Structure 1
Amino acid sequence: MKLRVLVFITALAVGLSIGLVNFYFQHSWKYSLISFTISFSISFIVFYYLIEKYIYSKIKLIYKLIHSLKLGKDLKDAIGEYVSADPINDVQAEVKEWAGEKKIEIESLKKQELFRREFLSNVSHEFKTPLFAIQGYIEMLHDCITDDPEQAKHFLNKADKNVERLSYLINDLESISKLESGEISMNYEKFDIVLLAKETLTHLEDNALKKKIKLQIQDKYTTPAIVLADKEKIRTVLINLIQNSIKYGRENGTTDIKIFELHDQYLIEITDNGIGIEEKHLIRLFERFYRVDSHRSREVGGTGLGLAIVKHILEAHEQTISVRSTPYIGTTFAFTLHRVK
């Protein structure tokens, strides 16, 4: 319809121009009207034919290709499909939408590339640190293995600890890879999250005593809080989060576990009154190898993958985890689990 309107306006302009020129030279309305009618008719037919054949039909084909290929259809199917009555505006809309999608896709790819580079750099650094340490201790071990057996034993123990750290790194990376690819299946079962939390606190009590940190869960949790999840995976989540609070907690501090009943979920919070985390770091806290303070993090140990593993386990359960923190006041990690009524 719009094609005919466009051709009509163009032919009308041509017809009026020729009619007016004819009237200027012959001063006859009769001949001007005849010339206008003939030129308008010829122009309309010629323009309609040319635009329809060489422009509009090509736009229709372009629209069909854009629209159909965008939906992932085969090229032959795309060419043979029905096209809308107004392909020019549709092409404009489709191209704008497509351009917007591609812009978002390009930005996403750039972020992924940046993350990949950072990840490879971090992996390289994390592996080089214990490897260089092992290499140094072995060299020193060669120098004193005969003359000073005690010192040799000391270097051997140091090298052993770094081998152990490498082993933890490899195991954690393997765990994350399997969680991401879905190779690790979730063994769902019903269990009491209160009881599991108490077991975890008991298990980590000795670690907390070294820093004089008190681990506690409120006495009000006397009735079972039954959830549906993979018990051992959730145990790993609790261990990682509580260990994290112990590492960065202050001496004579506390780590509290709180459980809140929601509509169809339980909200579990692990709160400490430790050094806290600045807001700018919170958004990246669950990235692999991301450390708020690299020097301090390596002093207290760990692979830098604990929180990433926690996030992947909870995402595999289709649950969420969040963190809120205030420097020098404390940090709270909170995650949800499906509640069994």
Structure 2
Amino acid sequence: MGKEIQKSYKFATASASLISVVMLGLAVLLQAIYIEVHIGPSILFFVLAWVTTFLLIQLRLESYIFKRVKEVYDKVELIESSAIKSPRITTDMNTLIQELEHFAEVKKLEIETLKDRENYRKEFMGNISHELKTPLFTVQGYILTLLDGAINDKKVREKYLQRASKGVDRLVYIVKDLDLITRLEMEDIQLEKQDFNLVSLIQNVFDLLEMKAHKKDISFTFDTDYNTPIYVHANKDKIQQVLINLFVNSIKYGKHGGTTEVAIEPLVKNKLIVRITDNGEGIQKENLNRIFERFYRIDKSGSRKEGGAGLGLAIVKHILEAHQESIYVESDFGTGSEFSFTLEKSKTKL
């Protein structure tokens, strides 16, 4: 506090000294011109004194504020030093307050973002640790049992080796998905786009997942008969993976005897939208903004009854973003969910 008072006194003293010297000069000048004091010279002295004082104070304040504000900008690196020019810095306190409020708001948002990222990092590390340690400990347990002597029993050996192999397969599955997401985030995958019939691709995915859906008596269907092919321009294999992940998700959280319906609708001139709707358990509102995060699970109990590593929707999101497309989700808890995504129409009619 003492330093701030000292600086203000220093500024005031320097300004007062300058004004006093200028006033003295003006008085001497007027006295030299006018021997006797008249009303005219007095008014002239007043005008000259006021104008001179105003200009001195204004210039001094501009210089003072410019230097102090520039120091703040330089220290916090809010903007480049070269962006601050003396003519733009004035004694307008409203402008200065707005600048500082804007700066404070930006910093507040940055701090909140950093906190969210830190929480996400901690949660992500916890999730990935959980996902990896489960199959790792499973494999380790079976191998240690075999090394302790169970390897001599043929039946036990084969059973434990098969179970250990399943654990390794799960590890490989998780690592491959993580590698795919990482490469998509780093734009390390070249998406070779082509024109293909979307209706035919969806039907192929229906056939591929038919047995899995049959276990829960879930039926796949179109909202209408698509007798005419609908061609899109995208990476066929990656869009197939998007469809598989979304359909598998609808099976996991769908109810027995339920349905998963697909609709293909025009959106704008060169875009269409694919809607995948189920009548499953739905998603609670507080989870909607996070379901595309890696390893994020709606079920906080840690249950793995539905399988999966919590990477399916994250992969969907990254594949579509790599295509510069969008994905949306709407859900009523207890009623069902609808996932929809956009695709580019084929420019050529095949």
State how far apart, in whole Å, the 2-side matches of 1:42 and 1:217 are.
87
- Correspondent of 1:322 among 299, 322, 328: 328
Residue 112 of structure 1 pairs with residue 117 of structure 2: yes
State how far apart, in whole Å, the 2-side matches of 1:267 and 1:325 are.
17
Conserved in 2, the CA contact under 8 Å of 1:144 and 1:152?
no
Conserved in 2, the CA contact under 8 Å of 1:228 and 1:339?
yes
Quote the residue 1:52 is aligned against: 59
Quote the residue 1:237 is aligned against: 242
- Correspondent of 1:281 among 276, 281, 287: 287
Per-residue Cα deviation, 1:232-287 (whole angstroms, up to 9, x for no partner): 11111001001111122222222221111222322111222222222222121111
Quote the residue 2:11 is aligned against: none
What SS does structure 1 have at the residue aligned with 2:137? helix
State how far apart, in whole Å, the 2-side matches of 1:294 and 1:137 are.
28
State how far apart, in whole Å, the 2-side matches of 1:133 and 1:269 are.
39
Quote the residue 2:296 is aligned against: 290
Structure 1 residue ranges without an equivalent (≥5): 1-6, 16-29
State how far apart, in whole Å, the 2-side matches of 1:201 and 1:236 are.
12
Conserved in 1, the CA contact under 8 Å of 2:197 and 2:229?
yes
State how far apart, in whole Å, the 1-side matches of 2:275 and 2:55 are.
72
Residue 210 of structure 1 pairs with residue 215 of structure 2: yes
Change over 3 Å in CA distance of 1:85–1:71 after alignment to 2? closer
Normalization by structure 2: what TM-score?
0.77
Offset, 1:51: 6.2
State how far apart, in whole Å, the 1-side matches of 2:194 and 2:327 are.
20
Conserved in 1, the CA contact under 8 Å of 2:279 and 2:335?
yes
What SS does structure 2 have at the residue aligned with 1:220? coil
Q: Structure 1 segments of 4 or more deviating over 4 A?
A: 33-48, 62-72, 294-297
Change over 3 Å in CA distance of 1:220–1:271 after alignment to 2? same
State how far apart, in whole Å, the 2-side matches of 1:71 and 1:147 are.
70
Offset, 1:203: 1.3
State how far apart, in whole Å, the 1-side matches of 2:274 and 2:346 are.
15
State how far apart, in whole Å, the 1-side matches of 2:330 and 2:51 are.
70
Change over 3 Å in CA distance of 1:207–1:95 after alignment to 2? same
State how far apart, in whole Å, the 2-side matches of 1:197 and 1:157 are.
34
What SS does structure 2 have at the residue aligned with 1:300? coil
Change over 3 Å in CA distance of 1:228–1:82 after alignment to 2? farther
Change over 3 Å in CA distance of 1:99–1:296 after alignment to 2? closer
State how far apart, in whole Å, the 2-side matches of 1:269 and 1:34 are.
87
Conserved in 1, the CA contact under 8 Å of 2:62 and 2:90?
no
Which stretch of the first structure deviates more once superposed, 279-288 or 237-246?
279-288
Conserved in 2, the CA contact under 8 Å of 1:186 and 1:230?
yes
Which aligned pairs between 1:152-171 and structure 2 lie closer than 5 A?
Answer: 152-171=157-176
Offset, 1:120: 1.1
Normalization by structure 1: what TM-score?
0.79
Quote the residue 1:268 is aligned against: 274
State how far apart, in whole Å, the 1-side matches of 2:265 and 2:298 are.
29
RMSD between aligned residues? 3.3
Quote the residue 2:184 is aligned against: 179
- Correspondent of 2:127 among 117, 122, 138: 122
Paired residue type of 2:92: I
Conserved in 2, the CA contact under 8 Å of 1:63 and 1:87?
no
Conserved in 1, the CA contact under 8 Å of 2:73 and 2:79?
no
Quote the residue 1:83 is aligned against: 87
Offset, 1:144: 4.7
Residue 332 of structure 1 pairs with residue 343 of structure 2: no
- Correspondent of 2:138 among 133, 141, 150: 133
What SS does structure 1 have at the residue aligned with 2:167? helix
State how far apart, in whole Å, the 2-side matches of 1:271 and 1:330 are.
7
State how far apart, in whole Å, the 1-side matches of 2:67 and 2:83 are.
9
What SS does structure 2 have at the residue aligned with 1:240? helix
State how far apart, in whole Å, the 1-side matches of 2:119 and 2:164 are.
34
Per-residue Cα deviation, 1:59-81 (whole angstroms, up to 9, x for no partner): 134456778997854x4x456x4
Quote the residue 1:27 is aligned against: none
Q: Matched residues, percent identical?
A: 41
Quote the residue 2:254 is aligned against: 249
Per-residue Cα deviation, 1:94-127 (whole angstroms, up to 9, x for no partner): 2222222222122111111111111111111111
Change over 3 Å in CA distance of 1:144–1:259 after alignment to 2? farther
Change over 3 Å in CA distance of 1:118–1:85 after alignment to 2? closer
State how far apart, in whole Å, the 1-side matches of 2:98 and 2:117 are.
29
Quote the residue 2:12 is aligned against: none
What SS does structure 2 have at the residue aligned with 1:276? coil
Per-residue Cα deviation, 1:305-327 (whole angstroms, up to 9, x for no partner): 01001011112222211222233
State how far apart, in whole Å, the 2-side matches of 1:150 and 1:316 are.
48
State how far apart, in whole Å, the 2-side matches of 1:123 and 1:207 are.
26
